[in-house]
């Protein structure tokens, strides 16, 4: 894990991705001290202190939430060279001097000839039905009323063109006037005369009039709706994967239809057109200023579409720190990490902090023009990233994490949620969407990377072990450096032992191979009753695995029906080979449920029902049986006492408390292996809920570990 992602705590409070550019440090770039991955930064106190610290990244058009702005005692000098800094200062000084000259000029005099509109208003207005001599072209070589000579030849046409009829041409004419005053060579004067002659021709004026009228008539009215997605190809591939094992007639027909070349070509064409329709055409141009390559980028900021980039401060520069998936910046491909922003819509931003940039961009809408110094970092060629689906095995709240680079983009989630990881460019902070929230989440959110989360969880375990009486949640601890380095990589904790994420894939069970149902719960939670009820009501659909035993068969028992009767040596050999899901000894006889017994039920087309101890889950999970695990949780103590009383049981209060604690321990230790949970507060309701979940396996694909499908 790169240590740069865990610098001084950021302080924004937004918990969900909003809409915009953002502010921070990523992967240990210039501007932040990286001495210790978990320690204080730049003279600030650790996360436990009450000091208010400045955010490292900031979303420039994301609602800030309850953010707190502070100062950092020192900043490390950026990577800009001294020559580049000097050129930037000259550039800023020239802009300031030009603004002062324009302001002074406007105070002392108004040059009517400097504006064609002012010149037109200063002369006699045209009379209806009478030729207006004001706009007639004077002959070359003659003088004006004030005695000044007119430009010779065709250059006089610039003053004669009736611009009040063509206001769109005013900017062009103004530019030609300025250019004409600067040209001295004959060839350039001839070129200007040629352009002015074309503008004066009636054919050009008629064509321009027609163009203006047609353009006005072609304004969008009742345009077709925008496409819903530009990723129809990905959707087709996902549907084909789901249908690969289906036996239904409609599913087979749909799968064959989706693989036809004509339909695949149509979907590919749809995606290409949709990409153009969904995103306004961005613009980019590169110019030279004082020997520095400057990039001019124009992006369209829609009302409901965020820009999706973050910025950070390097000295008094504002630098793009992160491009977020799903935003306008990422779709345009024109903003890159490391680009320095000089101006936004003509407003200089050098010297502004990231919060001022946020406030500035929040007020801007429509077309945004960025003047940038391109990043010197080597750009990797664009490639199509693969989305990774993971199940989270821990709860995460960005408002409680002092190390998240930008809290406006932090994505909160709960244990068991499915996350779609769309970018791992920053190994410490992945960009992701939460399952079911894609439509309500325009920008991807930031979640801790797997290795980063494992490392800090290992540190928390080490610190808690060393300080068992430490209260509260510990993201890090204020220890001396020697002790931190000694305990940071404790050999007792392996990264693989710390649960963070598990890669998942969608799986739809075949009609002929039903997934076994494993019911897990503490004693007296009702899982045995639910299993027996299913077996008695639908014996053709559900069945139990025939267990193995070393005891002798009784008179009415038949081998393979009630038990598989085996010798003790054979049982112990199979147990050592890992063939049993669970096993134990009772009255000096061995008993166990084997994977082969479960597989026999599956091969018969029925659903195998299992009631297992939690310790047996790991064996079942690592098999190729693809179980669906349901945790049967007990209700409250009072409700549980009532339910047990109906069965003639009268447990003591300490027994009920012990049962509740056992359920909590099971969920904490093995909850990552549960697919779902049912609270058995009402047996009839719990039974119907169990049936509903089992029926859903036939109609809806389920998330399973991707390793099961390899």
Quickly list DSSP for 554-621: -TT--BTTTBEE--HHHHHHHHHTT-EEEEEEETTEEEEEEHHHHHHHHHTTSEEEEE--GGGHHHHH
Contact 390, 352 (CB under 8 A): no
Contact 267, 222 (CB under 8 A): no
Residue 252 has pLDDT above 90, yes or no: no
Contact 298, 307 (CB under 8 A): no
Per-residue pLDDT tens digits for 10-50: 333 333 333 344 444 333 333 333 333 333 333 333 333 33
| pLDDT score, position 76 | 33
Residue where the block lists tokens 């990233």: 385
Residue 206 has pLDDT above 90, yes or no: no
With CA atoms as reference, report the closest residue to 597 among 586, 608, 606, 605.
608
Residue of 84 and 163 predicted with greater confidence: 84
Residue of 216 and 192 predicted with greater confidence: 192
Beta strands 429-434 and 628-633 are: unpaired
Residue 145 three-state SS: coil
How many other CB atoms are found less than 10 A from the CB of residue 608? Answer: 23
Residue of 84 and 322 predicted with greater confidence: 322
With CA atoms as reference, report the closest residue to 622 among 505, 499, 707, 503.
707
The rounded percent of the chain whose pLDDT value lies above 90 is 27
Quickly list DSSP for 651-681: --HHHHHHHHHHHHHHHHHHGGG-SEEEE-S
Contact 134, 154 (CB under 8 A): no
Residue 411 has pLDDT above 80, yes or no: yes
Contact residues for 28 (Cβ-Cβ < 8 A; gap 6+): 2, 3, 4, 5, 34
Per-residue pLDDT tens digits for 460-479: 877 755 555 544 444 444 44
> pTM, whole model, 2 decimals?
0.58
| pLDDT score, position 218 | 61
3-state SS string over 467-484? CCCCCCCCCCCCCCHHHH
Interatomic CA distance for residues 360 and 364, integer angstroms: 7
| Lowest-confidence segment of 78-87, 182-191, 242-251, 547-556 by average pLDDT | 78-87
| pLDDT score, position 225 | 64
With CA atoms as reference, report the closest residue to 58 among 4, 2, 11, 15.
11
Beta strands 445-448 and 580-586 are: unpaired
Residue 440 three-state SS: coil
| pLDDT score, position 277 | 60
Torsion sign (Cα): 169, 170, 173, 174: negative
Q: Which domains does the chain have, with CATH numbers?
A: 114-124+132-208 (no CATH), 508-709 (3.40.50.300)
Per-residue pLDDT tens digits for 579-626: 999 999 999 999 999 999 999 999 999 999 999 998 899 899 888 899
Query: How many whole angstroms from its chain centre is CA 518?
Result: 35
Mean confidence (pLDDT) of the chain: 74
What average pLDDT score do residues 53-76 get? 46
Contact 500, 457 (CB under 8 A): yes
Interatomic CA distance for residues 461 and 83, integer angstroms: 50
| pLDDT score, position 102 | 60
What average pLDDT score do residues 207-231 get? 69
With cut-offs at 50, 70 and 90, classify the pLDDT of residue 376: confident
| Lowest-confidence segment of 35-39, 126-130, 185-189, 387-391 by average pLDDT | 35-39
Contact 647, 474 (CB under 8 A): no
| Lowest-confidence segment of 127-131, 419-423, 544-548 by average pLDDT | 127-131
| pLDDT score, position 106 | 47
Contact 421, 72 (CB under 8 A): no
Integer angstrom CA distances of residue 533 from 326, 539, 608, 618, 630: 49, 10, 14, 26, 16
With cut-offs at 50, 70 and 90, classify the pLDDT of residue 255: confident
Report the half-sphere exposure of 363 (CA within 13 A, side-chain side).
8
Q: Which of 160-174, 238-252, 284-298, 462-476 has the highest mean pLDDT?
A: 238-252
Residue 153 has pLDDT above 70, yes or no: no
Contact 87, 32 (CB under 8 A): no
Quickly list DSSP for 353-372: -HHHHHHHHHT--EEEEEEE
Tokens at 182, concatenated: 């600067």
With CA atoms as reference, report the closest residue to 6 among 448, 474, 317, 411.
448
> Diameter of the chain by CA atoms?
134
Helix (H), strand (E) at residue 301: strand 292-301
Residue 488 has pLDDT above 50, yes or no: no
């Amino acid at each position: 894990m790169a240590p740069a992602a865990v610098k001084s705590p950021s302080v924004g409070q937004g918990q969900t991705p909003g809409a915009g550019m953002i502010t921070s440090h990523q992967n240990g770039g210039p501007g932040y001290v990286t001495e210790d991955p978990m320690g204080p930064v730049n003279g600030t106190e650790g996360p436990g202190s009450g000091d208010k610290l400045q955010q490292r990244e900031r979303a420039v058009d994301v609602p800030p939430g309850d953010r707190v702005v502070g100062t950092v005692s020192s900043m490390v000098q950026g990577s800009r060279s001294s020559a580049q800094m000097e050129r930037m200062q000259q550039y800023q000084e020239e802009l300031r001097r030009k603004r002062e000259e324009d302001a002074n000029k406007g105070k002392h005099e108004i040059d009517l000839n400097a504006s064609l509109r002012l010149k037109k208003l200063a002369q006699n207005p045209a009379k209806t039905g009478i030729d207006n001599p004001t706009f007639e072209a004077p002959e070359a070589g003659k003088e004006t009323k004030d005695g000044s000579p007119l430009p010779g030849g065709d250059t006089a046409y610039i003053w004669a063109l009736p611009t009040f009829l063509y206001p769109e041409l005013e900017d062009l004419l103004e530019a030609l006037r300025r250019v004409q005053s600067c040209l001295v060579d004959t060839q350039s004067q001839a070129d200007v005369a040629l352009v002015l002659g074309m503008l004066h021709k009636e054919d050009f004026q008629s064509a321009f009039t027609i163009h203006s009228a047609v353009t006005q008539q072609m304004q969008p009215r009742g345009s077709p709706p925008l496409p819903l997605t530009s990723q129809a190809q990905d959707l087709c591939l996902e549907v084909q994967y789901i249908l690969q094992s289906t036996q239904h007639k409609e599913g087979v027909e749909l799968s064959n239809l989706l693989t036809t070349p004509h339909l695949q070509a149509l979907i590919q064409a749809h995606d290409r057109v949709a990409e153009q329709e969904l995103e306004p055409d961005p613009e980019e141009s590169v110019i030279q200023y004082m020997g520095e390559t400057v990039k001019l980028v124009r992006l369209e900021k829609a009302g409901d579409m965020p820009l999706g980039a973050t910025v950070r401060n390097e000295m008094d520069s504002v630098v793009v720190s992160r491009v977020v998936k799903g935003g306008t910046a990422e779709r345009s491909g024109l903003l890159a990490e490391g680009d320095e922003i000089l101006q936004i819509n003509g407003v200089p931003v050098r010297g502004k902090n990231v919060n001022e940039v946020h406030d500035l961009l929040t007020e801007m809408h429509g077309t945004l023009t960025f003047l940038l110094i391109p990043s010197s970092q080597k750009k990797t060629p664009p490639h199509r990233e693969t989305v990774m689906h993971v199940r989270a095995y821990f709860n995460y709240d960005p408002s409680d994490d002092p190390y998240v680079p930008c809290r406006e983009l932090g994505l909160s989630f709960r244990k068991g949620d499915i996350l779609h990881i769309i970018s791992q460019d920053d190994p410490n902070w992945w960009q992701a969407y939460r399952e079911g929230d894609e439509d309500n989440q325009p920008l991807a959110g930031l979640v801790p990377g797997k290795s980063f989360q494992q490392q800090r969880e290992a540190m928390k375990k080490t610190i808690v072990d060393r300080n068992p009486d430490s209260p509260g949640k510990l993201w890090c601890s204020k220890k001396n450096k020697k002790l931190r380095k000694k305990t940071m990589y404790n050999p007792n904790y392996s990264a693989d032992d710390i649960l963070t994420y598990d890669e998942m894939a969608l799986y739809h069970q075949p009609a002929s191979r039903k997934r076994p149902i494993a019911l897990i719960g503490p004693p007296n939670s009702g899982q045995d009753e639910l299993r027996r009820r299913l077996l008695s009501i639908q014996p053709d659909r559900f069945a139990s695995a025939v267990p193995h035993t070393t005891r002798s068969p009784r008179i009415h028992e038949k081998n393979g029906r009630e038990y598989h009767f085996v010798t003790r040596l054979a049982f112990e050999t199979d147990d050592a080979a890992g063939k049993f899901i669970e096993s134990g000894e009772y009255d000096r006889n061995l008993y166990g449920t084997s994977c082969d017994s479960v597989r026999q039920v599956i091969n018969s087309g029925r659903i195998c029902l299992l009631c297992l101890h939690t310790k047996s889950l790991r064996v079942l999970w690592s098999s190729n049986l693809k179980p669906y695990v349901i945790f049967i949780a007990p209700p409250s103590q009072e409700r549980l006492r009532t339910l047990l009383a109906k069965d003639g049981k009268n447990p003591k209060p300490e027994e009920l408390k012990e049962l509740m604690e056992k359920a909590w321990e099971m969920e904490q230790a093995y909850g990552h292996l549960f697919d779902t949970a049912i609270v058995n507060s009402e047996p009839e309701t719990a039974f119907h809920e169990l049936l509903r979940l089992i029926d859903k396996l036939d109609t809806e694909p389920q998330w399973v570990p991707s390793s099961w499908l390899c």
